[in-house]
Amino acid sequence: MISSQLAAKAKPATAIVHKWHVFQHIKEARQVLGATDRALTILHALLSFHPETALEPDGELIVWPSNEQLMARANGMPPTTLRRHLAVLVDCGLIIRRDSPNGKRYARKGHGGEIEQAYGFDLAPIVARAEEYKTLASAVQAEKKAFRVAKERLTILRRDIVKMIEAGLDEGVPGNWKRFQQVYQEIAGRIPRTAPRQLLESLGGEMEKLWREVRELLEMFAKTQNPDGNESHSGCHIQNSNADLSPESEGGLPKNDEAGGNAVANHNLRSLPKRELPLGIVLDACPNMLWLSKGSEIRHWKDLMAAAELARPMLGISPSAWCEAREVLGDQQAAITLAAIYQKADQINSAGGYLRSLTDRAKGGKFSVWPMIMALLRAKLDGSKPTPPPAGDSAGFEPGKPAQTGAYQASAELRASIAKRPK
């Protein structure tokens, strides 16, 4: 109390403070000051009894409300609680008691109505320590920001490490992934429910070291798989529909390097239509995709793309294989290709390897979605599976089981288009 009184006497003579601004600073620094929430509720009530908003050092800074008045403005706080938290305010040095001889709170006025002597609670520390409270509030805000940054950094590192480990395992990247998992679990196990900033920063440093190690391993693997870094990061979608396909029931595609086979494939590619496949024809050939669409309805290409995103994990195709297919073929052509694979999924052992083979052929201009869709439509019209294409015919396609047998009716124009397709 003596220390608070000395601080109040040392207040600068020209200091004028806004009482509610200072109260806001005290609220932000309440944990450092040792004040409780209810004690600040009482302080707010005491400040409300002072008629002025701007507090001056040479002004009257003593308020003398009764306990009943304080309890009313403190939302009906019980008397015992009121006395206890008034003591907290005094202990924190936020107010000073000015007791009368009989312990009552009142003010004695002179003949002119001016207050000569007042007994109650002195708000002088609010003026004297205003700058101190502002500095404490700034320090608390800086600490909260540093804590939030450390927590966010740790959360992001944990998320990235888990994703990179999963990617490494899914892609078969050579490395001691079990050790990475153990190190991650050991660090994560030391994160308590409530931790100080210093501990979060320390654990974040350990997590970042593990993050860098896993990242470097994945980057080295990516460089060995694709040495042309500029092309791999171009981010452009290559719309390539001028390619051919000769899928097999197995996961890969046989390569035919014979001159006669290549000549036939190139002839077939030149004979394909140059326009894009209509969405209706794609859905006629791949009706199973409708099962994956909301409401069993696909009206736009984006709906087909959304259905393809659902079909990809069902077929066991890795995200990297799907991403590469979209980069090479483009979103629309990749969705058509995946729809055809999904239509004949029961005949393909490895859909992921199958899609990678088609993507590799597309890079060389040897793959097109037209033969795939036309072969599926022809099989649907025939009401049975088509016979496998002869070896060397890279334009043929062996479709899956038709969704309906003998019930499909096509227009004369579509039949004529299919009839022109080389068998």
Same-domain check for residues 192 and 226: yes
**Considering only 205-214, 272-281, 363-372, 406-415, which range has the smallest mean pLDDT?**
406-415
| Helix/strand/coil percent split, the chain, to 5 | 60, 5, 35
- Average pLDDT along the chain: 77
Of residues 264, 243, 247, the one with CA closest to residue 362: 243
φ/ψ of 259, rounded to 5, equals -65, -40
pTM over 0.75: no
Residue 236 covered by a domain = no
Same-domain check for residues 192 and 332: no
Same-domain check for residues 21 and 96: yes
Residue 105 covered by a domain = yes
Number of domains making up the chain: 3
Residue 250 covered by a domain = no
Check pLDDT > 70 for residue 249: no
Token representation of residue 244: 């051919």
Residue 295 covered by a domain = yes
More confident of the two residues 196 and 111? 196
Same-domain check for residues 220 and 308: no
Same-domain check for residues 122 and 43: yes
Check pLDDT > 60 for residue 251: no
The helix (H) or strand (E) run that includes residue 136 is helix 130-170
Check pLDDT > 60 for residue 241: no
Same-domain check for residues 354 and 274: yes
CATH number at residue 89: 1.10.10.10
> What is the domain range of residue 192?
143-230
Same-domain check for residues 99 and 215: no
Count how many Cα atoms sit within 13 Å of the Cα of residue 313 in the half-sphere of its side chain: 5
Same-domain check for residues 220 and 294: no
Residue where one domain finishes, among candidates 128, 153, 174: 128
Residue 51 covered by a domain = yes
Q: Tokens 């200091």 — which residue?
A: 15
Q: How confident is the model at residue 194 (pLDDT cuts 50, 70, 90)?
A: confident
Residue where one domain finishes, among candidates 230, 245, 273: 230
Check pLDDT > 50 for residue 195: yes
The string of pLDDT tens digits covering residues 75-84 is 888 989 988 9
